Amino acid sequence: MKSISLSRWICIGFSALLIAISFLVGCQSSTASSATSASAASSASSADVETAVTFSVESGAYQAQSIDLTLSSSSGLPIVYTTDGSLPTASSVRFDGAISIDSSDTNRALITRLNNEIPDFRAIVVDDSLPTATVIRAAVLRPDGTVGPTFTNTYFVDEDLVQMFDSIMVVSLVVDPANLLDYESGIMAKGAIYDEHRAENELLSNGNQHDVQANYTQKGRDWEREATIELFDGSNTLSYEAPCGIRLRGRVSRIYAQKSFNVYFKDSYGTKKMEYPLFGDIATSSNGDPVTTYKSFCLRSGGNDTELLRYRDSLLQETLGGYDYATQASRPAIVFLNGEFYGVYSLAEKYSDSYIESHYGVDSKNVVMFEDGELDEGVDEDQALYNELIEFAERDLADETTWNEFNNVVDVQSMADYYATQLFIGNYDFDETQNCRIWRARDPEEDSAYADGRWRWMLYDTEFSTGLYGLQVTQADYDTMKQYLEICPLFAAAMRNPTFRELVRSRIIDLSQNAFEPTRITTLFDEWWVVWKPWINLSCKRFATKIDSAEQSLTFAKDFFARRADCIIDFFDLHVAEIAAQS
């Protein structure tokens, strides 16, 4: 079981620096820290020398009241630039002499415009006391009137990131505002889809926004947009930069003012994969080494917990890292969107075929993954493998022969650990087709113990639990066991087998004595609160929420764990007796 200390990310920041130093030295020529950063508009690595733009000042934080920036190109071609995150065009401002940047230069148009794109009962606040940055995007202007590749730098002027955000990563995410707010295609806009849906549904005029359809509720590759991401990992200087793609993530939580993002690295953007130790030694590969290669990751605002505690899911997953299911490493991060403070996030691993390859040693092309009952990784023919699994819900798993067949298809210890955990935390927002992700190897691989063709479980989105909102369905005395037996047919079928029942019960006992021992888990919630509270408080200023609500949510969580073990064991034993009596 992984231990968690108050200073864990301070230590990880130093270890990440040591692990990454050789990588960073090797890639200085392609990052903004060498004063030629690539943007998401196109691949800087493919740009020829004539279209490269050189910045005289590197991305980073500067405590001077102002800095003077010059832009140049070896070709001598004129340079155009923008300060609002938009891609430079022939009509953008031409560089003519030094650009003087100070803290008052930040463009706040994005935050103002975003306020018009969220439900009326939520708000984004323009607050000049919040930290800001200045984004410069520049490109050469060719003689034919076209522009070259865009290069992006982010400047924090009269700021000290190390002092302001002690032990936390700072993320600058730069996106053309049209990609966010365009009526037809902007991924953070209500947009055309909202207006069409509103015209057809009276429920919206009655104030029910949870079933709304809008641009920002859309998913998939068609709603991915180009961006540039810059990381300042416990430093005032740039740690990593790359072009990338972003999508919004989440379901109902997309109505919140603070949106969550998935970040993708692809050849088409200019960076096939991220080479950086995002999580230090928290995320380890199948051979025990830190994971340093990523094709994607998440910036998660908290899901259902976004306007409250925010770190509930991250804490639970880190606490549960020793059990027989996948978990997502995470760390806190502050996000600036086009230079504007956009709140505190959990920067977390994203489940994918590459996650399985790095963590379990299974070839990514051999990974089959289903999310909420739908194919997420694999090929269409893999549907038959999933169908084989769910058909066991209709079979008698108390029969020894059938149970042995089930064991050949399912890692029953992984399943038992997973359901014991969900039962213990009382995750109400869960069933086998909702917030449920499973994976397996399609074919056996000799060099991987996990490529045995058996299904295994992956823990995520756990925050609708442990007293969230103070609702009865998330309280310690709520009968989650009864709920799961009614809505999780595969679990209900497995529970007819006494071996599986004992596996689940023994794991519940283990959780009560270790990961969720009341004194231990409540101490962890308090320690994380000390670390997160200043950043939550800043987020409250931006999104018109209250720190008191977050603190009350913390109290709910601690009260839950003080009482949960006895309650869930009693519920479990009650229903097992009923199942045994029916056998």
Same domain, 399 and 265: no
Q: pLDDT by residue (tens digit) across 208-242?
A: 667 789 999 999 999 999 999 999 999 999 999 99
Q: Within its chain, how far is the Cα of 226 from the centroid?
A: 17
Is the pLDDT higher at 95 or at 31?
95
139: its two tokens:
């490109």
Strand partners, 300: 346
- Is 327 a member of any domain? no
Query: Does the pLDDT of residue 474 top 60, yes or no?
Result: yes
pLDDT range class, residue 203, cuts 50, 70, 90? low
Q: pLDDT by residue (tens digit) across 46-78?
A: 446 789 999 999 999 999 999 999 999 999 999
Residue 105: per-residue pLDDT: 65
Looking at 276, 291, 314, which one is the last position of a domain? Answer: 276
Query: Does the pLDDT of residue 3 top 90, yes or no?
Result: no
pLDDT range class, residue 505, cuts 50, 70, 90? very high
> By CB neighbour count within 10 A (0-12 exposed, 13-18 middle, 19+ buried), where does 379 fall?
exposed
Average of per-residue pLDDT across 512-523:
98
Do 40 and 175 form a contact (C-beta atoms < 8 A)?
yes
Give the residue ranges of DSSP H helices in 361-467: 383-390, 400-409, 412-425
- Is 347 a member of any domain? no
pLDDT range class, residue 425, cuts 50, 70, 90? very high
C-alpha distances (whole Å) from 480 to each of 320, 427, 429, 509, 541 are: 19, 8, 11, 16, 36
Strand partners, 54: 72
Same domain, 381 and 253: no
Q: In which residue are the tokens 């908290």 written?
A: 302
- Is 369 a member of any domain? yes
- Is 47 a member of any domain? yes
Average of per-residue pLDDT across 114-121:
88
Same domain, 214 and 74: yes
For residue 475, the domain's CATH number is: 1.10.1070
> Mind spelling out the 3-state secondary structure of 114-150?
HHHHCCCCCCCCCCCCCCECEEEEEEEECCCCCECCC
CA atoms within 13 A on the CB side of 340: 25
Query: Which residues have C-beta within 8 Å of that of residue 64, sequence separation ≥ 6?
Result: 157, 158
pLDDT range class, residue 478, cuts 50, 70, 90? very high
Query: Which residues have C-beta within 8 Å of that of residue 536, sequence separation ≥ 6?
Result: 309, 310, 344, 547, 550
Q: pLDDT by residue (tens digit) across 401-418?
A: 999 999 999 999 999 999
Looking at 235, 251, 276, which one is the last position of a domain? Answer: 276
Looking at 227, 245, 276, which one is the last position of a domain? Answer: 276
- Is 24 a member of any domain? no
Residue 475: per-residue pLDDT: 98
Residue 204: per-residue pLDDT: 56
Same domain, 408 and 272: no
Query: Does the pLDDT of residue 11 top 80, yes or no?
Result: no
C-alpha distances (whole Å) from 331 to each of 170, 349, 403, 469 are: 11, 9, 40, 24
**Which residue in 91, 82, 90, 87 sits closest to 143, CA to CA?**
90
| Local structure of 43: helix, strand or coil | coil
Element (H, E) at 94: strand 93-94
Residue 416: per-residue pLDDT: 98
Q: pLDDT by residue (tens digit) across 16-43?
A: 444 343 333 333 333 333 333 333 333 3
Residue 200: per-residue pLDDT: 82
pTM: 0.91
Same domain, 270 and 390: no
The whole domain housing 246 covers 31-276
Strand arrangement, sheet containing 93-94: 60-62, 151-157, 134-140, 79-82, 93-94
Q: How far apart are CA 103 and CA 129, in angstroms?
A: 11
Q: pLDDT by residue (tens digit) across 328-364?
A: 999 999 999 999 999 999 999 999 999 999 999 999 9
- Is 296 a member of any domain? no
Same domain, 86 and 218: yes
- Mean pLDDT of the chain, nearest integer: 90
- Is 522 a member of any domain? yes
Percentage of residues in the chain having pLDDT higher than 90: 81
- Is 1 a member of any domain? no
Indicate left, alpha or beta for 97 from its phi (over 0: left) and psi (-120 to 50: alpha): left
Query: Does the pLDDT of residue 207 top 90, yes or no?
Result: no
Give the residue ranges of DSSP H helices in 426-497: 480-487, 489-494
Q: How many domains does the chain have?
A: 2
Same domain, 248 and 369: no
Residue 4: per-residue pLDDT: 42
Query: Does the pLDDT of residue 247 top 50, yes or no?
Result: yes
Rg (CA), the chain: 25
